[in-house]
């Protein structure tokens, strides 16, 4: 039996936790000063006495080769504009992967081939353990680094990764079926058009695009990524930033 989804819950009916949608923006003046100091220390060729700060100059900013940014003033303006957006983007991703996606899988129903689901979960665990070995990390350290998991023993971390693997597997099934019901089919016939569009957008040769996104990845992974992007777009307007020491939301 092939695993399939029999009922897809509407993710837009899932209420997001209020504590995860309200964020406090750090003191921007203090944060920008710190970032400018870090950049000045990075590019300065002068060794100053302890306690004396380096001064950021336009020449230092130019060395970063940031498009449209050549002066200290432009660098500050860019930080002020992009930091709130980056904070919102990070929180959207956290909400998506740690809450909304698992909740959608839990509230939907499936006919599950346990052998298939177990195999996919085991692959996720093996990849996690191999990645930890490559980085010379213990499983506890890898768990904190990759998932923000607090201190747990190896058995608990393995169970968590197995759960994540199973959830991701079911979400791929759900994503493919959800988009199919919307008229979006990811098969051999549509793959050629996908490669052509990605080639035009990226400027990469068609052969390189096919290497980066082979047919099996297109059919198995792209539907889930497409649904995740749709869900992110739904989450983003619900995130509210509040300036430090203020009670009113700030527009990101």
Measured CA to CA, the distance from residue 53 to residue 40 in angstroms comes to: 9
> Could you tell me whether strands 4-7 and 249-250 are parallel, antiparallel, or unpaired per DSSP bridges?
unpaired
pLDDT at 83: 87
Span of 76-85, 103-112, 164-173, 240-249 with lowest mean pLDDT: 240-249
Task: Check whether 247 has a pLDDT greater than 80.
Answer: no
Q: What's the per-residue H, E or C state across 169-235?
A: HHHHHHHHHHHHHCCCCCCHHHHHHHHHHHHHHHCCCHHHHHHHCCHHHHHHCHHHHHHHHHHHHHH
What would the pLDDT profile of 153-167 be if each residue is shown by its tens digit?
Answer: 788 889 989 999 999
Span of 70-79, 140-149, 189-198 with lowest mean pLDDT: 140-149
Q: Please answer whether residues 75 and 42 qualify as being in contact, where contact means their C-beta atoms are separated by less than 8 angstroms.
A: no
Task: Check whether 151 has a pLDDT greater than 70.
Answer: no
pLDDT at 57: 93
Region 28-54: what's the mean pLDDT? 86
Helices 139-147 and 114-134 cross at an angle (nearest 10°) of 100
What would the pLDDT profile of 1-14 be if each residue is shown by its tens digit?
Answer: 899 999 999 999 99
Task: Check whether 217 has a pLDDT greater than 80.
Answer: yes
Residue 101: band (very low, low, confident or very high) from pLDDT cuts 50, 70, 90:
very high
Region 214-229: what's the mean pLDDT? 93
Q: How many domains does the chain have?
A: 1
Check: pTM over 0.85? Answer yes or no.
no
Domain containing 135 equals 4-250
pLDDT at 244: 63
Task: Check whether 99 has a pLDDT greater than 80.
Answer: yes
Q: ∠119-123-128 over CA atoms, to 5°?
A: 150
Q: Output the CA–CA distances (angstroms, integers) from residue 236 to 31, 36, 84, 102, 239, in the order listed.
A: 23, 29, 12, 18, 6
Task: Check whether 249 has a pLDDT greater than 60.
Answer: no
Residue 122: band (very low, low, confident or very high) from pLDDT cuts 50, 70, 90:
very high
Task: Check whether 252 has a pLDDT greater than 60.
Answer: no
- 3-state class (DSSP) for residue 242: strand
Residue 144: band (very low, low, confident or very high) from pLDDT cuts 50, 70, 90:
confident
Measured CA to CA, the distance from residue 177 to residue 223 in angstroms comes to: 9
pLDDT at 118: 95
Task: Compute the half-sphere exposure of residue 108: CA atoms within 13 Å on the CB side of its CA.
Answer: 27
């Amino acid at each position: 039996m092939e695993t399939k989804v029999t009922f897809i819950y509407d993710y837009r009916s899932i209420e997001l936790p209020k504590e995860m949608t309200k964020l406090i923006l750090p003191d921007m003046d203090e944060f920008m000063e710190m970032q400018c100091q870090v950049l000045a220390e990075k590019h300065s060729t002068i060794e100053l006495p302890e306690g004396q700060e380096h001064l950021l100059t336009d020449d230092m900013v130019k060395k970063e080769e940031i498009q449209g940014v050549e002066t200290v003033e432009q660098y500050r303006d860019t930080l002020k504009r992009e930091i709130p957006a980056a904070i919102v983007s990070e929180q959207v991703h956290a909400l998506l992967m740690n809450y909304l996606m698992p909740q959608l899988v839990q509230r939907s129903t499936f006919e599950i081939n346990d052998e298939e689901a177990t195999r996919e979960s085991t692959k996720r665990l093996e990849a996690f353990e191999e990645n930890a070995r490559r980085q010379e990390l213990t499983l506890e350290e890898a768990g904190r680094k990759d998932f923000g998991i607090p201190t747990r023993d190896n058995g608990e971390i393995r169970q968590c990764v197995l759960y994540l693997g199973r959830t991701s597997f079911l979400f791929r099934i759900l994503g493919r079926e959800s988009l199919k019901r919307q008229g979006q089919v990811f098969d051999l016939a549509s793959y050629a058009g996908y490669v052509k569009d990605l080639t035009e957008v990226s400027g990469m040769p068609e052969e390189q695009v096919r290497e980066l996104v082979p047919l099996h990845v297109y059919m198995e992974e792209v539907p889930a990524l497409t649904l995740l992007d749709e869900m992110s777009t739904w989450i983003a307007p619900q995130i509210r930033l509040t300036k430090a020491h203020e009670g009113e939301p700030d527009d990101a």
